[in-house]
Amino acid sequence: MNVIKMNNLTKYYGKNTGVENVNLSVSKGDIFGFIGPNGAGKSTTIRMLLQLTYPTSGSVELFGLPLHKERPSLRRKIGSLSSEVHYYKEMTGKQILQFTAKSHGLSLQETPVYEYAERFQFDMNKKVKSFSLGNRKKLGILQGLLHEPELLILDEPTSGLDPLMQQSFFQLLNELNHHGVTIFFSTHVLSEVEKLCNRVAFIKSGKLLETSHMTEVKGMNERVIEVTFTEPGDKRKKFGLADIDPYAAFTQGVHYITVRGRLHEALQRIVQYPITDISIHKPTLEQLFMQHYDQKESDGDSR
């Protein structure tokens, strides 16, 4: 069953494009990563899912119900977290949580909020105006989860949380997912998506580039080797690096070599020469993006 379904979803802000013709569906039980750089249209899409804005054209369905008209009761099934998480400054965290619980027809005692507060080491008795961004984010998490929703729609949930808290948060998301909660979240951090998601969509400049299962994401099995040889200068030709990666780059004394599979062969070749520094990592989001983007462009050209 599709929990979220977008058909040619388009939103313009006057002359500015928010998103254009986005087609995407999220099934029950998915942890779906929505990934893209600043200004890609992530928040624009999420605001339409939360009925904060309405599409210019195209449509969205949640749990099979179209959102062309307001459906406030549907929001009882949805937990959300906005990217900037602002709350009424003069109220305490607890007052905000009580207010939210009441809006769902619950009392705070009926919700798992105290358990979560302990988990995230969150002091709910302070006023919102004294909160740091991280604390506001924690309040946002509690506020978004207290009614035990079936679907979570989160806009950059981890920005502002320290690594430890990010980890606790991911753990919680995983647990919830095991209990059947569907999760849709946006981010520009690839590692978050890798850790958590079973499906991922890439968006850039308002257009959906690709949707795939995590295991099929092109480039996920690639590794980038950054190496500085003791002997100075561009050694791409001399050391035969082009045989490993014909597009190997050299900037400011560092060689960048991308390998797909056969990592040991590449390393054997490299370590024949004296090295001052080496690191091996997964391609950055930027690099993956560029690959996707270049590919799409050249596909377009060849047609």
Partner 1 sequence: MNLIKLEILLLRRSFIIGGGIILFFTALLGSLADYYLNNAELLEAVEQFPDAVIEGFGFHVSVMTSFEGWTSGQIYTYYVLLLGCFAAMWACASIVKDRDMGTDEFLYSLPYSRLHVYFSRVAAQLFLTSTIFLLTFLITVACGFLFSQIESVRTIFFIMLAGYFIVLAFSGIGYILTTLLHSERSAMSAGVGIVMISFLLNMMAGMDETVSWLSYFSLFYVFDTKALVHGDGLSISAAAATLGIYIAGTALGAFLFKRQDVVR
Ligand X SMILES: Nc1ncnc2c1ncn2[C@@H]1O[C@H](COP(=O)(O)OP(=O)(O)OP(=O)(O)O)[C@@H](O)[C@H]1O
Nearer to ligand X, 39 or 240 (CB): 39
Residue 40 binds: one of Mg ion, partner 1, ligand X, none (C-beta under 5 to 8 A by kind): ligand X
Nearer to ligand X, 111 or 187 (CB): 187
- Closest approach, Cβ 172 to Mg ion, in A, equals 22
Nearer to ligand X, 52 or 242 (CB): 52
Site string for ligand X, 160-199 (x = CB under 6 A): ----------------------------x-----------
Q: Is 203 in contact with 22 (CB distance < 8 Å)?
A: yes
Nearer to ligand X, 22 or 266 (CB): 22
Residue 85 touching partner 1 (CB under 8 A): yes
- Closest approach, Cβ 302 to partner 1, in A, equals 38
Residue 99 touching partner 1 (CB under 8 A): yes
HEC profile of the chain = CEEEEEEEEEEEECCEEEEEEEEEEEECCCEEEEECCCCCCHHHHHHHHCCCCCCCEEEEEECCEECCCCCHHHHHHEEEECCCCCCCCCCEHHHHHHHHHHHCCCCHHHCCHHHHHHHCCCCCCCEHHHCCHHHHHHHHHHHHHCCCCCEEEEECCCCCCCHHHHHHHHHHHHHHHHCCCEEEEEECCHHHHHHHCCEEEEEECCEEEEEEEHHHCCCCCEEEEEEEECCCCCCCCCCCHHHCCCCCEEECCEEEEEEECCHHHHHHHHCCCCEEEEEEECCCHHHHHHHHHHHHHHHHHHC
Nearer to partner 1, 103 or 276 (CB): 103
- Closest approach, Cβ 80 to partner 1, in A, equals 5
Nearer to ligand X, 29 or 134 (CB): 134
Residue 140 touching ligand X (CB under 6 A): no
Residue 44 touching ligand X (CB under 6 A): yes
Which residues, 33 to 62, sit near partner 1 by CB under 8 A? Answer: 43, 47, 50-54
Q: State which of residues 16, 130, 284, 298 lies at the interface with ligand X (CB under 6 A).
A: 16
Q: Is 35 in contact with 201 (CB distance < 8 Å)?
A: yes
Q: State which of residues 23, 66, 70, 297 lies at the interface with partner 1 (CB under 8 A).
A: 70
Q: State which of residues 21, 27, 59, 83 lies at the interface with ligand X (CB under 6 A).
A: 83
- Closest approach, Cβ 119 to partner 1, in A, equals 21
Residue 133 touching ligand X (CB under 6 A): no
CA–CA separation, 296 and 1 (whole Å): 30
Catalog residues that contact ligand X under the rule CB under 6 A: 13, 16, 18, 36, 38-44, 83, 188
